[in-house]
């Protein structure tokens, strides 16, 4: 753990990497999202592996999945009851083909 400017963080200081802000998204077929970040990077993220987890199983409902919105730079579903870390989306998303 370490402290920076009065904020305590888990891990090591070198692990803090700036992630551009998520500024746009659109649901795609196959439980995927198209994502646009503030550095103009585009990513495609496949949520299929998460649909078997308790937290995200509700997203199997295509109407719910397609109802994704953007709230404070994060994708949210079901009026904010479900959200996802935009840092993961940026780092693990695939460039569009």
Radius of gyration of the chain from its Cα atoms, rounded to whole angstroms:
15
User: Which pLDDT belongs to residue 64?
Assistant: 97
Rounded to whole angstroms, the Cα distance separating 14 from 36 reads 26
Q: Is residue 78 part of a domain?
A: yes
pLDDT at 15: 56
Which residues lie below 8 Å from residue 1, measured CB to CB, with a gap of 6+?
8, 9, 10, 11
pLDDT for the residue 97:
86
CATH of the domain at 34: 3.30.2020.10
What SS3 class is residue 63? helix
pLDDT tens digits for 3-15?
777 777 666 666 5
The pTM is what? 0.81
Q: Give me the pLDDT at residue 34, please.
A: 98
> Domain of 63?
20-92
What's the pLDDT tens digit per position in 27-65? 999 999 999 999 999 999 999 999 999 999 999 999 999
What is the count of structural domains for the chain? 1
- CA dist., res. 7 & res. 49, Å (int): 33
Residue 43 lies in a domain: yes
Mean pLDDT score of the chain: 90
């Amino acid at each position: 753990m370490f402290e920076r400017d009065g904020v305590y963080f888990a891990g090591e200081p070198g692990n803090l990497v700036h992630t551009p802000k998520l500024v746009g998204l659109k649901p795609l077929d196959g439980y995927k999202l198209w994502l646009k970040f503030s550095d103009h990077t585009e990513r495609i993220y496949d949520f299929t592996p998460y649909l078997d987890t308790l937290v995200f199983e509700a997203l199997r409902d295509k109407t719910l999945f397609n109802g994704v919105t953007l709230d404070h730079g994060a994708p949210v579903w079901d009026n904010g009851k479900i959200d996802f870390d935009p840092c993961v989306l940026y780092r693990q998303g695939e460039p569009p083909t």
